[in-house]
Amino acid sequence: MAKTMGKIALKGLVSLVTGSASGLGSQVRQRLAMKGSKVLAVDINHKTIIEEDVELKSRVSFITGDVSDERFLNDLFTKYPKCDAVVNCAAAYRSYNYLTSYLVSKQAVDVLKNNPINAFGVRGCVINIIGLQEKYDQKYFDEQDVFAQKTGHSFDSLDDKVLALAEDMIANRIRSNSVIVPPNSDLKLFAQLVENIIEDQYIAGQIINMEDESRPYLGTVNDVLAEYHVPPEPKELPLIQEPVTQITQQLPEHKASTGSVGSTRTPLLRIDNKKQ
């Protein structure tokens, strides 16, 4: 693998792309194969795929399976024990995307950690996709609950598991990045961004928002919180100069915020009181 300004060549790398039959995953599959990567293309339905380019087709292994099924994932990584990069495009715009990305990443790490450390001190990388919704309504949360019940997983306990997985990835020199993809994004630009993240060994621990011209995500958290009418965090109270005995006015009681940024019920925040 050529070493150029912190980058490695895609040629010869093995990349796993979930949700590869259409949309984001399809573009990534074709882009990585075009650049010489061996692509493990996973999707629950490959019937719609017609790979016209014979050379690209020779670099892609089409694998049909459900990434929410841990038995399938275990069989997948047993059959394909070599992998350098994982791109989680499956269910990118569905409410349970956070869970499917975790399930794939958890099993992928056991494969990635066996890779030799490259010239930049890295063993591999994982890229998670966060597809933004037009709105997060009751239907969105109901879909989460149905999916959790179907798969036997709990979104409420997922945060701790994700944190433990992140620590495992850091300890094993596996880069992890997330890309926020708004609806109707430029798919070719997205695929190019994924390519750059895989190549550039110094991009790690980033959340990149395509809506923000692909710069590292600075966030519009206040706008998101306002949409759900979450009470703002209290401002710091001024320093009281007078003795406490002279205070006659009782300070208002602060009610804790019901939302927490970076949790699991939506890509950006969690609303625990949504069903009240």
pLDDT tens for each residue of 155-173: 778 888 999 999 999 999 9
CA distances from 42 to 120, 139, 208 (A): 29, 27, 24
d(CA 217, CA 215): 6
> What pLDDT shows up at residue 159?
86
Distance between CA atoms of 233 and 125, rounded to whole angstroms? Answer: 35
- Per 3-state DSSP, the chain is made up of helix, strand and coil in percentages (nearest 5) of 35, 20, 45
* In a domain? residue 270: no
Instruction: Provide the mean pLDDT of the chain.
Output: 79
Residue 64: strand pairing partners: 43
pLDDT at 96: 92
Domain membership of residue 71 (yes or no) is: yes
Question: Is 261 in a helix, a strand, or coil?
Answer: strand
Instruction: Specify the number of domains making up the chain.
Output: 1
Per-residue pLDDT reduced to its tens digit, 15-27 = 999 999 989 999 9
Q: What is the pLDDT of residue 29?
A: 95
Q: Is 100 part of any domain? A: yes
Q: What is the CATH number of the domain that holds 141?
A: 3.40.50.720
| Residue 259 domain flag | no
Domain presence at residue 275: no
Q: Please tell me the predicted confidence (pLDDT) of residue 50.
A: 58
Whether residue 272 lies inside any domain: the answer is no
User: pTM for the complete prediction?
Assistant: 0.75
Confidence band, pLDDT 50/70/90 cuts, at residue 225: very low
Residues 271 and 95: their CA atoms lie apart, in Å, by 13
**How many C-beta atoms surround the C-beta of residue 170 within 10 A?**
13
Q: Which domain holds residue 148?
A: 14-226
Domain-embedded: residue 242: no
Specify whether the CB–CB gap between 81 and 57 falls below 8 A.
Answer: no
Task: Supply the pLDDT for residue 54.
Answer: 62
Contact 18, 25 (CB under 8 A): yes
